[in-house]
Structure 1
Amino acid sequence: MCLAIGIDVHSKKLTSFAVPQDEENIDESEFCLEFNKEFKSTPADRTTLNRMAAWLNGREHLILIENSTKTHEVFWILTDLGCVVVVANASDLYRITMSVKKTDYHDCRELAHYARRYLNGEREFATCLIVTAEQLNRRQLCRIYAQASSGLSDLRRRIRSYMLARGIAVSIPERDIVSEASLRELEMVADTSMSLLIDEARRQRDRIKKIKNEILKEFKNDELFQLIYSIPGFGIVTASYLSAMIVDIGRFASAAAFAAYYGVVPKQRESADHSVRCGITRRGDDITREMLVDGTFHHISIDVNRRSDVSRFYDRLRSRGFPHKKALMACANKMAQKMFAILTTKTPYRI
């Protein structure tokens, strides 16, 4: 039989409680009594977690932790020490979130009982994906690029605004205003303020190029990245960011669940016998959703011969009177489901 352990994690303190999976097992019940005396309230440090792992060595167990800011550190220390740890989505733990007895000891007892019911086959909460340090680094690298790219877009607006105020124009208006050709042309008429904007644009472009090279180096052997990158319109940064957030395609039960992860599925509003489909849910990471939508838009834009079913779907929606944004979101949903098929079958994109 197995031990069910709940740990209430805080930045400086751990409160733990253990119960046997089978309450009639005398040996496990006695062990739980000793464990609860030893680890009722302890410092949240590696020494304590080492002692806990030593106590549990050789005994089947499941440790349940509520997702919080300290969770990642505790999860990986215990996992590296050979412990079996599950992290629960905090919003699903109603016996804790709705309780009037908000104490650490009460919460860890409830977590222990949640863990026991989990061992016995009940699924009352969603489990959280806890990524490795390498995966965290990849995500951070992609987010740094997204922030730098957003900063460059803001700089473009500032330069355009300043040009408008000064009556400055470039020979090819539709050219990227921060391209080297545009900046060289602007240098010829630049005053002090414009010179500073040009210098800032060059620094930002160089930084973005450096980050992009680091991303390519980090993801070049990643299978998920290669499969997403095979989709026309999905560039290096988009493919890397999406693969960094997916981590493991096997954690999604279906294509619909995969699309829901990006928040591009319609919300449902139900009342009595009526069910109304509303705007998209917008759940999940905003940048991930933005990357998916941008990739879908580029996919449609470059498909001039309309060989892709996503492009044809967009045209059908537009011909029926759908606004561009609404049609694009529906296509992003379709693209997410298509991406799910590519990643699960490990087959690069084919028309």
Structure 2
Amino acid sequence: MQQRKKINFECQNIYIGIDVHLKNWSVTTITQSGYKKTHSQNSSARELFEHLRKHYPGGKYLAVYESGFTGFSTYYALKEYGIDCMVIHAADVPTTQYESVMKSDSMDSDKLAKALKTGTLKGIYVHRRENLDARGVVRLRKTLQTQLGGYKSRVKHLLYNNGIVFPKCFAGKSTHWSQRFMRWLREDVILLSSTRTSLDLLLDQVELFRKNLLNATRQIRALSRSEHYARTYENLTSIPGIGMLTGMSLLTEIDDVERFHNEKQFASYLGLVPTSHSSGEKIANGEKTFRGNKLLGPMIVESAWTMIRHDSVMAAAYGEYCKRMKSQEAVIRIARKLSNRILKILRSGQKYEYDRCH
């Protein structure tokens, strides 16, 4: 009896679509010839590598998964085993109507593998491992700030529910949350009930989040002075409207400015490119797309409001825009101009030069 020849996929691409979950992965594998197989396994890069080495020995392994709760950890785990990997935005996966209404893990991994094989996928940028913690610190500060605002609102809501009237010395909102204001809340406020446990618990949370927010701010300031960021940070903050938080958010989110080939691509990343919807004779245009970095986009728009008060060229451009559109639309145009200047500063390594408004 003739002995079977050993399977060998040397110099062949093996396309792997992975639907990632916490405890298990659904994996679809397609060879160059179109042979397809789907299996379920534990969420382990090592286990997947052993499976591929056993069933597709010698092949070049190309994997793809959707960005999600695992972040880039799955990417780096697969890379350690020699599996080339792509991370994609979930909205960029080609999906038929049938696949959208008959969703399953195996179907998700199947369409990922098919799209990878046809070359229709475009991966998102994968941040370098050494910079992930810095980005996490800046993002965490934003989260702490949002949560702190939520607890402050709950405190005021509780005061209103209990008919508490603010003393005249706290009539202005600028006086709220000072040490004096907190002392008044702690010592003088009397609720409708004979106890005030709910208020004290909320105040404890306000103080805790303020402490954590201050610590996070100090950590970001230290990062801005570090050898890795100091020079670029100084150049970036020379732009009017770009302060410490916006500057460090830009540096940690962008990571490598060379990944942007032109100004339009950078503006698109920030979510500052216009939208266009046309059908027949109907054409609808918008100033700002919903896609883009959700942290940076609003920051750049906010910086644009500051810039038109300090740069005469930007101020003049804003005035011209306002002649034919609303101020909110005009400032988006200024934000796009600002994004061009940010990209130029990051690439040139020079400080910003502008005409000051006197």
Question: 1:3, CA displacement in angstroms?
Answer: 1.0
Q: Write out aligned runs for 1:267-346 (5 A).
A: 267-301=275-309, 303=310, 306-307=311-312, 309-318=313-322, 320=323, 322-346=325-349
Q: Please name the residue that 2:94 is paired with.
A: 94
Q: Please name the residue that 1:26 is paired with.
A: none
* Identity over aligned pairs, percent: 18
1:2/1:298 CA distance change after superposition, 3 Å: farther
1:41/1:277 CA distance change after superposition, 3 Å: closer
SS in 1 for 2:249: helix
Say whether the 8 Å CA contact 1:264–1:289 is kept in structure 2.
yes
Q: Cα deviation per residue 1:140-186 (whole Å; 9 max; x = unaligned)?
A: 32232223323454566678886996252339958553345x64896
1:5 paired to 2:15 = yes
Q: Cα deviation per residue 1:29-56 (whole Å; 9 max; x = unaligned)?
A: 9xxx7xx78x844332243145257668
Range with bigger deviation, 325-334 or 43-52: 43-52
1:155/1:111 CA distance change after superposition, 3 Å: closer
Normalising to structure 1: TM-score of the pair? 0.73
1:62 paired to 2:62 = yes
Q: Please name the residue that 1:245 is paired with.
A: 253
Range with bigger deviation, 131-140 or 51-60: 51-60
Please tell me the residue identity of whatever aligns with 2:220: I
Please tell me the residue identity of whatever aligns with 1:345: S
CA separation in 2, counterparts of 1:92 and 1:321?
Answer: 35
Question: 1:108, CA displacement in angstroms?
Answer: 4.5
Say whether the 8 Å CA contact 1:17–1:112 is kept in structure 2.
yes
SS in 2 for 1:286: coil
1:216/1:84 CA distance change after superposition, 3 Å: same
Please tell me the residue identity of whatever aligns with 1:289: G
Unaligned 5+ runs, structure 2: 1-10
1:311/1:206 CA distance change after superposition, 3 Å: farther
Please tell me the residue identity of whatever aligns with 2:336: N
Question: 1:62, CA displacement in angstroms?
Answer: 2.5
1:187/1:113 CA distance change after superposition, 3 Å: closer
Say whether the 8 Å CA contact 2:287–2:332 is kept in structure 1.
no
Question: 1:338, CA displacement in angstroms?
Answer: 1.8
1:102/1:345 CA distance change after superposition, 3 Å: same
Say whether the 8 Å CA contact 2:17–2:116 is kept in structure 1.
no
Please tell me the residue identity of whatever aligns with 1:209: L
Q: Which has the higher helix share?
A: 1
Unaligned 5+ runs, structure 1: 24-28, 119-123
Range with bigger deviation, 59-68 or 211-220: 59-68
Range with bigger deviation, 93-102 or 78-87: 93-102
Q: Cα deviation per residue 1:270-320 (whole Å; 9 max; x = unaligned)?
A: 13255332342232343322222222223334x1xx44x3333223334x2
SS in 1 for 2:295: helix
Say whether the 8 Å CA contact 2:170–2:181 is kept in structure 1.
no
SS in 2 for 1:232: coil
CA separation in 2, counterparts of 1:297 and 1:110?
Answer: 44
1:133/1:333 CA distance change after superposition, 3 Å: same
Question: 1:86, CA displacement in angstroms?
Answer: 1.6
Q: Please name the residue that 2:42 is paired with.
A: 43
1:15 maps to which of 10, 13, 27: 27
Q: Cα deviation per residue 1:237-258 (whole Å; 9 max; x = unaligned)?
A: 1212222222222333321222
1:85/1:176 CA distance change after superposition, 3 Å: same
SS in 2 for 1:208: helix
Q: Write out aligned runs for 1:156-305 (5 A).
A: 166-170=165-169, 173=172, 175=174, 177-180=176-179, 183=181, 190-191=188-189, 203-221=208-226, 222-223=228-229, 225-301=233-309, 303=310
1:65/1:4 CA distance change after superposition, 3 Å: farther
SS in 2 for 1:94: coil
Say whether the 8 Å CA contact 2:345–2:352 is kept in structure 1.
yes
Q: Please name the residue that 2:74 is paired with.
A: 74
SS in 1 for 2:342: helix
Q: Please name the residue that 1:114 is paired with.
A: 115
CA separation in 2, counterparts of 1:101 and 1:156?
Answer: 44
CA separation in 2, counterparts of 1:63 and 1:134?
Answer: 23
